[in-house]
Amino acid sequence: MAALTAIRQIDLKRIIAYSSVSHMNLIVLGIFSYTQQGLDGAIYLMVAHGIVSAALFFCVGVLYDRFHTRLLKYYGGLVQVMPLFATIFFLFILANMSFPGTANFIGELLILIGLYQKNNFILLLAGTSIILGAAYSIWAYNRIIFGSLKTKYITNFVDLALSETIIFSPLLISVVFLGGK
């Protein structure tokens, strides 16, 4: 399972990459369920995941642009100096975890309904993958945003610029809009 591999990563970009692989596994399961709900969920999750993963990779780019590292051990306590980034990153982490009200939730729910109609064992594996996805998402967010500020490794704390906020805005609106349908 790609979710287990994502938990073991120490590079933020790799965590998001393996998260993408895990979501693609769910999409494939939805397609191979051969049910209308599974197919609809797969299509919906493809669109939603495209938006959410782009936003998460942009979040990594923001961090890398400021601190020139993607390793989790150098981060901590960013909520103290980058509250706007912490909020936007949190919303995209929630979407990555398929939190209700976000676009990924609808896609994954439809896939799970389609799997329920065909094979309960595969449904159990898919559900385990979703739970592990929530675990690595929360773990990564906690390591980066909370805790003590590691000023020994990182300096030059600047919150999001206007241009970055403008880039994040349509992505965030799309995730919430597609999650509300």
Query: What are the tens digits of pLDDT across the range 120-168?
Result: 999 999 999 999 999 999 999 999 999 887 776 666 778 899 999 999 9
- pLDDT (0 to 100) of residue 153: 67
- pLDDT (0 to 100) of residue 181: 66
46 CA to centre of own chain:
13
Mean pLDDT of the residues in the chain = 92
- pLDDT (0 to 100) of residue 148: 80
Contact 176, 51 (CB under 8 A): no
Instruction: Say whether 11 sits in a helix, a strand or coil.
Output: strand
CA distance 89 to 112: 26
pTM, whole model, 2 decimals?
0.92
- pLDDT (0 to 100) of residue 173: 95
71 CA to centre of own chain:
17
- pLDDT (0 to 100) of residue 6: 87
* Residues of the chain where predicted confidence (pLDDT) is lower than 50: none
- pLDDT (0 to 100) of residue 5: 86
Q: What are the CA-CA distances from residue 158 to residues 35, 116, 151, 154 (Å)?
A: 48, 47, 13, 11
**Domain range spanning residue 153?**
2-179
Name the residue among 14, 154, 17, 130 with its Cα closest to residue 76.
Answer: 154
What's the total number of domains in the chain? 1
Contact 72, 147 (CB under 8 A): no
Q: What are the CA-CA distances from residue 163 to residues 69, 127, 166 (Å)?
A: 22, 38, 5
